Structure 1
């Protein structure tokens, strides 16, 4: 978990954010929760986000991967895709997450792949497929993010209370 992986970003994304002085790896990281859970983002583009998470340390009392851990991986990957789709002027805020757990995982790494279902001006929806090391589907998830302005307009209410 202590090893840092470099994330692959499309060159146009690197250039766009670099021109604004933004450090992409920190902006599109797994965040504090994802870091504690060992989430590693390996590839990130609006069209596809790939990440891994260890099963060890993220299990429920029966020794199986916790469904909430799968949800954290899914929301992390889908949110990164939505942020990349929205660009530097938008923030992605998760407003709906649905996870279906198909099988348990007891060890190794799980890999999540997020691909867009819908990418609009105000929302983005991603499907996230989480598989075990044998390529068997562990979880299917769908995340919808609200894309809100990164800097709220003066006097507007915004969606300040939304979680995600």
Structure 2
């Protein structure tokens, strides 16, 4: 996928810290917390894969993403509608597409997610795909936990995963979630 153009990086302040988003006028390609490990490497790889320059600035997609993030963190948005472009292997994209279908406030196990993508023994590969997700929250990898109920990992920090899960459960319990 070659864009041969400029895409824009913008900061989004959230309750869990600032996030950086990268988008064109059509899609969000990247949205991670600023302090996520290997963020710079991921941005360089994105730049290479898209053959695009990444510059600081805002566009209509980044603005819409900021608005949706604000609604999500305030408990008013339960499913993102912003257009995203998944960049990864076919297997990763298959996993990420399944993640989007996990209901707000719900969790599934890595093993269950592996079954949903057609290989119940591929739970480690599913975990690796989750770790490679560069659009967390929008592609809600935080909703996947260990089969024993333990929270599992999260590239942006387990404390953030715990917060996101509790935030969604609290809103869901309040009865405000509409599908």
Provide the TM-score with structure 2 as the length reference: 0.26
> Which structure shows the bigger proportion of residues in helix conformation?
2
> Which structure shows the bigger proportion of residues in strand conformation?
1
